[in-house]
C-alpha cells in the first residue's frame, strides 16, 4: 500500500460564512499568505520524512478553497525539497489550459524531480469553467482531445502538427522530454462510472474522491475494471487511488473533534462559496452528459455536507481516529475496494496546522508500519509502460 | 459543387479525369478505392482548381499498355500535368495516391510545386500496420465515422474491384517500396504529411521513414480520423491542406487577421 500526502492549500482564516463565488479578495492578506504558503510547503516536504510515498496538490481558481492556481509551481518546489517522494499533480485542469503548456510543465517537473512525476489530467469542478470563460459543455471533448495531444507531445520523436476540434498547432516539439518512458503515469478522476470508464480507455490510473459510501466507490471501480478489460488490459491495485479526509490523533475522540472543526469550515465556507456558480453550470449546461451523473455529483456534495464524522467513520469514507483505528480503516478500504494507493487529505478547512503535523508523526510511528505491506504494488510507471 | 468529367488523350491512351473549382491548379491522386468525390474536395475547390485523374484500371476504366508500375503511373501523371494542367502544380495524394505522388515528385520534380501525402501507402517496413483478415474488416478500420461516407455514384462491386484487383497491377503487393525509399531524398518540394490519430492501416513507421528521408517535410496529425481522413474529418483536412497549399511553409505561422485581409 502506498500513500500520498495531499494538500488543498486552503485560505483558512475566514470568519464570514455567507460568501458568494467568486469571492472578493479584499480580506485576503498577501503577507499572511506568504507565511501560509511557507507553512504549507514545509508541511508537504515534511511528509516525505513521515513516510508518505508521494506529495500532491491540485489546481483551483477564484476561491479560498485552494490557493494553487498553478499547482506545478508548488510541484517544482517539492521536486527540490524532496528526494524520493512522487510529485503528484492531481492535477492540472487540462481542458482549461493550453495542452502544450501542460505537456511542457509536466515534463519539466518530471525532469526536475528525476522521474518522480505522477500527473493528473483533471476536468475540474463545474465553476472553474466560469473562471476561465470556457463552455462547460465542451469539457469532456476538450479533455479527450487534450489528453491525446499531450501524450503525442510526450512520445512523438519528430516535430508534428495537430489539427483538432479544439486545438490546432502547426509545429510541436517539446523540450525537455520526460524522464519516465513512454511518459509519466497519468491519473484521471472517477467521480462517476462514466468518468471511470474514460480513465480506463486512456489506460490512466483511477482517482476517486470523497465517495459517499464504499459501495459507491466499488461501483466506480468495477466500471473502470470492466472497461479496462474491454480495452484489453488488466488493472491492478497500483492503478487505483482513493482520497480520504484524514485525521490522526492520540484518541478517537480527539481526532473526531479536531476533524469536525475542519470539516465544518470546509463545508460551510470553502465548499459553500462554490455552490451558486456550481448550480448555474450544472443546470444550464451539459457539464454532465446525463442526469444520472449530475445526480451522482449532487448526492455526493449533499451527503458530504450533512453527515457527521461519526457517520463517515461508520461508512468507511474517512480516516479518523487514533493510530490503531486508522490502521483498521485503511485495511477495510483496501479490502473492500482493492486500492493500492490512498491519498490522504489532512489539512481540511481550518484544521490547525500543528494538529496536521502531529497526525503526520503518528502516521509515521504507528500507522505506516502496520499497513505498508497490505498491497505490494509495482511502480505506476512500470505498470503502464506497456501502453 | 459540380465535378466535370473529361478525357485526356495522352501518348499511352485515354485517361478519365474530373475537375472542380477555380484557382491555382492542384492535381489530386486517389487511393486504392478509386476516386471518391468527398466534402474535402468540395471545400478545397472553393479556392483551387482541382484536377482529379482516374488511374487506368480504376472505376471501370481500362489499363493502358506499358503503365504497369508505380514509376510508369507517375510518368503518365507527369504527362497529364504537362498536357492538361499546362504548368507545374501542387500534388496531393491519399493512400495509394500518396505513394503515386511520391514517385511523381521523385522522377518529375519540375512538375511538382507543393506535395501533400495523406496516409501514404508504400512505406510499411516488415508489413507493419493492420492486416485485416477480410474486406469487411478492412472497411471497418478505414473509417471512424462510416455515416459520413459521401454519396457515391459507383457501385459497391466496382469499389471492391478497385481495392482488391487493381492496385496490384502497379505495386505488385509490395508493402515497402525500397526503390522509392532510396530516392526520397530527391524530393525537392515542401511536403505536408498528414496522418489520422486513429489510423491503423498505415503505421507510424511510415511517418518515421518519410520524416527521416524527405528533406522538407511537415507531419500533421488530424485528430479523430482513421485512414479515410477526408471522410472522417473533411473540414479539418481541407483547412490544413488548403492552408498549406495557399501559404506553403508559412502555414506554420498563425496569420491572425491577415488571413481575412
List chain A pLDDT tens, one digit each, 387 residues: 999 999 999 999 887 667 777 888 888 899 999 999 999 999 999 999 999 999 999 999 988 888 999 999 999 999 999 999 999 999 999 999 999 999 999 999 999 999 999 999 999 888 889 889 999 999 999 999 999 999 999 999 999 999 999 999 999 999 999 999 999 999 999 988 999 999 999 999 999 987 889 999 999 999 999 999 999 999 999 999 999 999 999 999 999 999 999 998 888 888 777 777 777 777 777 777 677 776 766 666 666 667 899 999 999 999 999 999 999 999 999 999 999 999 999 999 999 999 999 999 999 999 999 999 887 655 654 445 434
Which pLDDT value is given to residue A377?
Answer: 59
User: φ and ψ at B112, to 5 degrees?
Assistant: -115, 125
Tens of pLDDT, residue by residue over B97-155, are 999 999 999 999 999 999 999 999 999 999 899 999 999 999 999 999 999 999 999 99
Distance (Å, rounded) from C-alpha B138 to C-alpha A196?
31
Number of H helices, E strands in chain B: 10, 8
What pLDDT does A282 receive? 74
Q: Is pLDDT of B23 > 80?
A: yes
CB-CB under 8 Å, B223 with A148: yes
Residues of A in contact with B252 (CB under 8 A): 161, 170-171
Q: Which residue of B has its CA nearest to A159?
A: B219
**Strand, helix or coil for residue A362:** helix
User: Could you tell me the CA-to-CA distances from A284 to A288, B218, B252 in Å, in that order?
Assistant: 11, 42, 38
Among A122, A117, A340, A326, smallest CA distance to A221 is for A340
| Residues of chain A positioned with their CB less than 8 A from the CB of B207 | 158
Q: Which residue of A has its CA nearest to B192?
A: A161
Taking a C-beta distance cutoff of 8 angstroms, is the pair A301, A271 a contact?
yes
Question: How far B236 CA sits from the closest chain A CA (Å)?
Answer: 6
- In the prediction, which pLDDT does B259 show? 60
Cβ-nearest to A170 among B222, B223, B251: B251
Of A157, A163, A170, the CB nearest to B222: A163
A163–B240 C-beta distance less than 8 A: yes
The predicted pLDDT at position A376 comes to: 65
Residue B117: CA count within 13 A, CB half-sphere: 32
* pTM recorded for the entire structure: 0.92
Q: How large is the average pLDDT for residues B185-193? A: 97
Residue A77 in grid coordinates = 518546489
In chain B, the residue whose alpha carbon lies closest to the alpha carbon of A161 is B220
Judging contacts by C-beta atoms under 8 Å, the chain B residues touching residue A157 are 208
pLDDT at A26: 86
Q: Say yes or no for a CB contact (<8 Å) between B218 and A171.
A: yes
Element of type H or E holding A61: none
- Subunit contact A170:B253, Cβ cutoff 8 A: yes
User: CA dihedral in degrees (A10, A15, A21, A23; nearest 10)?
Assistant: -80
Contacting A residues, span 129-168, partner chain B, CB-CB under 8 Å: 145, 148-149, 152, 157-165, 167
What is the C-alpha to C-alpha distance for residues B173 and B170, in angstroms, rounded to an integer?
8
Closest by CA to A10, choosing from A192, A368, A263, is A263
Cα separation, A243 vs A4, whole angstroms = 9
To the nearest 10 degrees (0 to 180), the angle between helices B96-107 and B70-80 is 70
More confident position, A267 or B1:
A267
Pick the residue from chain B with its C-alpha nearest to A146. Answer: B223
Contact assignment for A163 to B236 by CB distance below 8 Å: yes
Provide the number of CB pairs (under 8 Å) joining chain A to chain B: 51
Which three cell numbers mark A256? 473526531
Instruction: Give the per-residue pLDDT at A269.
Output: 82
Closest residue in B to A171 (Cα) is B252
Q: d(Cα B148, Cα A24) in Å, to the nearest integer?
A: 49
Measured in whole angstroms, how far is the alpha carbon of residue A13 from the centre of its chain? 23
Interface of A with B in 218-257 (CB under 8 A): none
CB-CB neighbors (< 8 A) of A163 in chain B? 220-223, 233, 236-237, 239-240
Give the pLDDT confidence score for residue A386 in this predicted structure: 38
Give me A235's grid cell.
488493472
Hey, what's the cell of B15?
Answer: 485517361
CATH number for A321: 3.20.20.30
Please give, rounded to a whole number of angstroms, the shortest distance from the CA of B217 to a CA of chain A: 10
Closest chain B CA to residue A142: B223
Where residue B219 falls among pLDDT bands split at 50, 70, 90?
very high
Cell reading at A15 = 470568519
Is this complex scored with an ipTM above 0.85? yes
Contact A346, A320 (CB under 8 A): no
Lay out the sheet containing B4-10: strands in order across.
A168-172, A160-163, B217-222, B191-196, B112-118, B89-94, B24-29, B48-53, B13-20, B4-10
Q: Nearest CA to CA, how far is B30 from chain A (Å)? A: 22
Which grid coordinates belong to A154? 510526450
Judged by CB atoms closer than 8 Å, whether chains meet at B220 and A170 is answered as yes
Task: Residue A149: list chain B partners with CB under 8 A.
Answer: 223
| CB spacing of A162 vs B223 below 8 angstroms | yes
What are the beta bridge partners of residue A161? B220
How many C-beta atoms lie closer than 10 Å to residue B114's C-beta? 23
- H/E stretch holding A236: none
Q: What stretch of H or E contains B70?
A: helix B70-80
Residues 6+ apart with CB under 8 A from B194: B116, B117, B118, B119, B220, B221, B222, B229, B237, B240, B241
Domain ranges of chain B: 4-247
Q: Are A119 and A111 in contact (CB under 8 A)?
A: no
Closest residue in A to B208 (Cα) is A158
Closest approach of chain B CAs to the CA of A337, in angstroms? 34
- Give the best residue of B220, B246, B254, B255 to mutate against chain A (max A CB count within 10 A): B220
In this prediction, residues B90-98 reach a mean pLDDT of 98
* CA–CA min distance A156, chain B (Å): 10
> How many residues can be counted in chain B?
261
CB B99 within 8 Å of CB B29? no
Put simply, the answer to whether B223 touches A158 (Cβ < 8 Å) is no
Phi, psi of A22 (to 5 degrees): -75, 145
> Long-range contacts made by residues B165-173, C-beta under 8 angstroms, separation at least 24?
B166/B32, B166/B34, B166/B55, B166/B57, B166/B58, B167/B32, B167/B96, B169/B57, B169/B63, B169/B68, B170/B55, B170/B68, B170/B69, B170/B70, B170/B72, B170/B73, B170/B96, B170/B100, B171/B69, B171/B70, B171/B96, B171/B99, B171/B121, B171/B122
Total domains present in chain A: 1
Strand pairing category for A240-248 and A319-321: parallel
Give how far B259 is from chain A: nearest CA, Å.
Answer: 16
- State how far Cα B58 lies from the chain centre: 14
Task: Please give, one letter per residue, the 3-state secondary structure of B131-166.
Answer: CCCCHHHHHHHHCCCHHHCCCCCCCHHHHHHHHHHC
Return the residue in B223, B224, B225, B229 with the most chain A beta carbons within 10 A, the one to mutate for interface testing: B223
Q: A161 and B219: CB-CB below 8 Å?
A: yes
B234 or A305, greater pLDDT: B234
Here the cell at position B114 is 507543393
Chain B contact for A105, CB < 8 A? no
User: Residues A240, A225: contact at Cβ < 8 Å?
Assistant: no
Give the CATH H-level superfamily of domain B4-247.
Alpha/Beta hydrolase fold, catalytic domain (3.40.50.1820)
Beta bridge pairs of residue B4 = B19
**Cα separation values, A110 from A128, A182, A183, B241, B261, Å:** 26, 12, 9, 36, 44
Numbered residues of chain B with Cβ closer than 8 Å to any chain A Cβ: 197, 207-208, 211, 218-224, 233, 236-237, 239-240, 251-254
Amino acid at each position: 500500500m502506498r500513500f500520498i500526502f495531499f494538500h488543498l492549500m486552503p485560505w483558512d482564516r475566514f470568519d464570514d460564512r455567507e460568501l458568494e463565488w467568486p469571492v472578493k479578495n479584499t480580506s485576503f492578506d498577501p503577507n499572511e499568505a506568504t507565511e501560509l504558503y511557507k507553512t504549507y510547503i514545509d508541511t508537504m516536504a515534511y511528509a516525505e520524512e513521515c513516510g508518505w510515498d508521494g506529495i500532491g496538490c491540485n489546481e483551483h481558481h477564484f476561491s479560498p478553497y485552494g490557493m494553487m492556481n498553478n499547482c506545478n509551481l508548488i510541484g517544482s518546489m517539492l521536486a527540490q525539497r524532496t528526494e524520493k517522494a512522487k510529485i503528484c499533480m492531481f492535477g492540472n485542469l487540462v481542458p482549461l489550459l493550453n495542452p502544450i503548456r501542460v505537456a511542457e510543465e509536466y515534463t519539466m517537473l518530471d525532469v526536475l524531480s528525476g522521474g518522480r512525476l505522477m500527473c493528473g489530467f483533471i476536468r475540474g469542478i463545474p465553476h472553474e469553467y466560469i473562471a476561465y470563460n470556457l463552455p462547460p459543455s465542451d469539457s469532456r471533448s476538450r479533455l479527450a482531445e487534450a489528453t491525446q495531444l499531450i501524450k503525442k507531445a510526450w512520445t512523438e520523436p519528430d516535430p508534428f502538427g495537430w489539427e483538432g476540434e479544439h486545438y490546432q498547432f502547426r509545429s510541436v516539439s517539446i523540450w525537455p522530454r520526460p524522464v519516465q518512458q513512454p511518459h509519466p503515469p497519468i491519473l484521471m478522476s472517477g467521480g462517476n462510472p462514466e468518468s471511470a470508464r474514460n480513465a480506463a480507455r486512456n489506460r490512466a490510473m483511477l482517482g476517486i474522491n470523497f465517495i459517499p459510501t464504499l459501495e459507491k466507490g466499488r461501483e466506480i471501480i468495477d466500471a473502470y475494471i470492466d472497461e479496462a478489460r474491454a480495452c484489453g488490459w488488466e488493472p491492478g491495485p497500483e492503478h487505483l487511488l482513493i482520497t480520504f479526509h484524514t485525521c490522526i490523533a492520540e484518541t478517537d475522540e480527539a481526532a473526531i473533534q479536531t476533524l469536525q472543526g475542519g470539516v465544518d469550515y470546509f463545508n460551510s465556507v470553502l465548499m459553500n462559496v462554490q455552490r451558486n456558480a456550481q448550480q448555474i453550470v450544472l443546470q444550464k449546461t451539459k457539464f454532465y452528459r446525463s442526469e444520472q451523473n449530475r445526480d451522482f455529483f449532487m448526492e455526493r456534495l449533499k451527503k458530504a455536507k450533512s453527515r457527521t464524522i461519526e457517520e463517515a467513520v461508520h461508512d468507511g469514507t474517512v480516516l479518523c481516529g487514533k493510530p490503531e483505528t486508522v490502521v483498521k480503516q485503511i485495511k477495510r478500504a483496501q479490502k473492500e475496494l482493492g486500492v493500492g494507493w490512498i491519498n490522504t487529505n489532512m489539512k481540511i478547512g481550518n484544521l490547525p496546522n500543528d494538529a496536521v503535523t502531529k497526525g503526520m508523526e503518528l502516521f509515521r510511528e504507528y500507522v505506516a508500519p502496520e499497513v505498508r505491506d497490505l498491497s505490494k504494488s509495482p511502480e505506476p510507471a512500470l505498470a503502464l509502460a506497456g501502453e | 459543387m459540380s465535378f466535370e468529367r473529361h478525357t485526356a488523350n495522352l501518348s499511352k491512351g485515354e485517361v478519365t479525369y474530373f475537375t472542380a473549382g477555380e484557382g491555382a491548379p492542384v492535381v489530386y491522386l486517389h487511393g486504392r478505392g478509386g476516386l471518391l468525390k468527398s466534402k474535402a474536395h468540395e471545400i478545397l475547390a472553393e479556392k483551387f482548381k482541382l484536377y482529379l485523374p482516374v488511374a487506368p484500371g480504376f472505376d471501370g476504366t481500362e489499363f493502358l499498355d506499358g503503365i504497369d508500375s508505380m514509376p510508369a503511373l507517375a510518368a503518365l501523371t507527369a504527362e497529364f500535368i504537362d498536357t492538361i494542367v499546362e504548368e507545374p502544380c501542387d500534388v496531393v495524394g491519399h493512400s495509394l495516391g500518396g505513394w503515386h505522388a511520391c514517385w511523381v515528385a521523385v522522377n518529375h520534380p519540375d512538375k511538382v510545386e507543393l506535395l501533400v501525402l495523406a496516409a501514404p501507402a508504400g512505406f510499411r517496413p516488415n508489413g507493419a500496420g493492420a492486416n485485416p483478415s477480410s474486406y469487411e474488416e478492412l472497411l471497418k478500420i478505414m473509417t471512424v465515422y462510416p455515416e459520413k461516407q459521401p454519396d457515391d455514384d459507383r457501385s459497391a462491386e466496382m469499389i471492391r474491384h478497385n481495392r482488391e484487383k487493381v492496385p496490384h497491377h502497379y505495386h505488385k503487393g509490395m508493402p515497402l517500396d525500397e526503390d522509392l525509399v532510396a530516392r526520397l531524398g530527391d524530393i525537392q518540394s515542401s511536403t505536408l504529411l498528414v496522418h489520422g490519430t486513429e489510423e491503423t492501416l498505415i503505421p507510424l513507421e511510415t511517418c518515421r521513414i518519410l520524416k527521416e528521408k524527405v528533406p522538407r517535410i511537415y507531419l500533421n496529425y488530424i485528430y479523430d480520423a482513421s485512414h479515410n481522413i477526408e471522410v472522417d474529418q473533411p473540414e479539418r483536412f481541407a483547412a490544413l491542406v488548403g492552408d498549406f497549399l495557399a501559404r506553403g511553409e508559412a502555414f506554420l505561422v498563425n496569420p491572425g487577421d491577415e488571413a481575412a485581409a
